[in-house]
């Protein structure tokens, strides 16, 4: 899949939410850069960091070089939200409570759009 692929993520348990335009990020370099050194993030955009399988270690993130807070949602390979956190800028590390395959990084105002246990669906734009 190309690095510039944009997808929509829908919360199947809260279908009325505003759509999210998410950059699908499955290459090493894309995941490494993440949102580091970006100046801002709009409430309708975000980044989906994709790992090869469910893991707690591989889905840990850092906020070094990120100058704004993020809502971080961890999703497992069964497309279920397993954890979420408001990640503060410049903090060293965050790890999910349960193994996940996907890390959704979105605007902090969107943290309430997802709850642990919600089922989600990825859709091509």
Any domain includes 111: yes
Say if 18 falls within a structural domain: yes
Q: Is the pLDDT of residue 23 over 90?
A: yes
pLDDT in tens, 63-122: 999 999 999 999 999 999 999 999 999 999 999 999 999 999 999 999 999 999 999 999
Tell me, yes or no, whether 1 lies in a domain: no
Q: Is residue 114 in some structural domain?
A: yes
- Asked whether the predicted pLDDT for residue 16 surpasses 90, the reply is no
CB 117 within 8 A of CB 81: yes
62 is written with which tokens?
Answer: 């850092």
Query: Which pTM does this prediction carry?
Result: 0.94
Give me Rg for the CA atoms of the chain.
Answer: 13
Give the model's pLDDT for residue 74: 98
CATH code of the domain in which 14 resides: 2.60.120.1140
Which comes out higher in pLDDT, residue 108 or 16?
Answer: 108
What is the three-class DSSP state of 13? Answer: coil
- Its domain, for residue 51, covers 6-124
């Amino acid at each position: 899949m190309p690095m510039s692929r944009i997808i929509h993520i829908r919360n199947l348990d809260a279908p009325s939410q505003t759509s999210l335009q998410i950059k699908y990020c499955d290459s090493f370099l894309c995941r490494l850069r993440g949102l580091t050194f970006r100046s801002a993030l709009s409430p309708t955009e975000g980044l989906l960091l994709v790992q090869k399988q469910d893991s707690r270690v591989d889905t840990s993130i850092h906020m070094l070089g990120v100058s704004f807070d993020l809502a971080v949602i961890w999703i497992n390979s069964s497309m279920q939200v397993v954890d979420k956190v408001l990640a503060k800028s410049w903090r060293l590390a965050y790890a999910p409570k349960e193994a996940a395959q996907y890390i959704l990084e979105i605007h902090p105002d969107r943290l309430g759009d997802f709850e642990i246990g919600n089922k989600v669906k990825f859709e091509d734009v």
